[in-house]
A and B are shown apart, each in its own frame.
Chain A
Amino acid sequence: MSPQTKQVLNVGKAQLDLLEELTNANGVSGNEIEIREIIRKKVAPFVDEINVDGMGNLLVIKHAKKPNAIKVMLDAHMDEVGFMIVEEDGDGLYEFEHVGGGDERQFVSKPVSVGSQKLPGVIGSKPIHLASEDEMNAVISQQGMRIDLGPAGKGKAKRGDYAAYATKFIRSGDAIFAKALDNRLGCATLIELLKTAPEHVELLAAFTVQEEIGLRGAKVAAYDFYPQLAIAVDSTPAFDFERPDGNENTQYNCKLGGGPAIYIADRGTLSDPRLIRFLTEVAEENKINYQYRQPGGGGTDAGALHLTRGGVPSVSVSVPGRYAHTAVMLARISDWQDTLNLLQQALEALTPEILSGDRA
């Protein structure tokens, strides 16, 4: 932990209210409209251009007020993992598929919100009283689960309706419990940065669709913006637990309380070393708590961004969060605040020169 962090942006009530509104809203991959409309309203007062492209990405521009500005793309995906109704099964029960990566052991005993009407539903399981010993030892399979709108929900949902976890935002000290912190944390970060963007930067903010099912929105958003550099802002899983076998946990990915996680390498991207060095310097100079995400699997929109057109120098910066792709994620306000400040200070310090040197 840095002794004296220079904090310019604070996460106060307004920012937490924004995050609460964004996480309580539903935006399963392919159905991001509710998130897009919230963000559009939030950013409208202080940006120059707002467009929605053919895939549903919200493309926001805040023009530089000085000449020779550097074109910077900030990316945050709007979509979250969730469910789609695929078949009605009678009696208010509906067969469903999961949208995005998910572990079926996380699905049962959760309330869900179904369709644009937000019908209340649940995913339940066979009572323990009726389960055999063999069943108790087996994972409850998604094939046997149903989204249940109750007997009066018969005919109320239709094939293709999306469903999201119905978790409501909770704050407990420095901790936040909410669904879809992956990646409404990124969305809220971009909204805040658009407010305070420095005048020498041409800020291109892309709120993208369909990240969870293959970085699809980011690919076309980056084509449209074709920036000089791009930063994907996301939430990355923290696996920072004591291992049950007592051995040292060397696979923690990143840690809660460690500040923004700067990506070096993941399955899809080798971050631009110049941008890694630059972000590191900014963090050190401003005494902002930061960490390097352990190189390894996983990925962010940067995987699509850096391959756009003739190539875009890209890096990812993520707020650490536990239990991604489940009904309830957990993150720390202090980590979010450090992420906001790292990115704000980076925008302030950014010049075209940082890209003039060799990659490595």
Chain B
Amino acid sequence: MPELRTEGLVHVYPGSGVRALDGVDLRFDPGERVAVVGQNGSGKSTLVRHLNGLLRPTEGRVLVDGSDARGMRVAELARRVGVVFQDPDRQIFAGSVLDEVRFGPRNLGRSAAELREAVKEALDLTGLTGLESRNPYDLGGSRRKLLALASVLAMRTPVLVLDEPTTGQDRAGIARVRSVMEGASAAGRTVIAVTHDMEFVAELFGRVVVMRSGRIILDGSPSQAFDAARRDLLRSTNLEAPLAARVAARVGVEAVTEADLVSALATAARPPQRPPQ
């Protein structure tokens, strides 16, 4: 399982003069689940495009397992880093669900048996089993998004990058995305998600990277990111800690998720136990 690293990564889009990334040093380890947050234009999407070689650094470099990604062919990088984009319609092109999911792993030259197994697993995980012959465009938006996820899962890349995986997903869809991500990290894969959904961050991630104007302004745990003392830092990039974390800070208990808050409150509210007679 590889380690993914950026060193002094700078990106300037041609003609813009703006440093969309302005010296980003990050290291992602196997099995780690990392949320990258920040407002639109903070550099999150640009960062994602560097992780799978869609963009070339203006300065600095991306290292996969210690080797400079610049020297790797796109196919080589695609074998290691799978990216699921926010808008599935920019990704989906095949005429059937099955063809869409088969496309990636087939291009990686997997054997027929491996291919079948990888496709089956990806469809199962995303709840699309049984829809193999359907045209992707006959599926609703949330299922199309799960299909885009399935087609990347089927490539079984050691690194999985998801851009806004919860948008357009209903309650069941979010639960599915969540279990896919948990399964991937349990299998030792690196999971990186760009998201605006702070509740999702609090519930699911061990590490939060906060970006603003192309720079990392915070890299720590959700408790650190959502600490009331750092409220202004988060707000400087137009983000707000989840309600549960804000209430917890107000009441003076430690919690970032609703479940933690409720159990902390329940403990605090319980009358002191009398010693046994």
A binds B: no
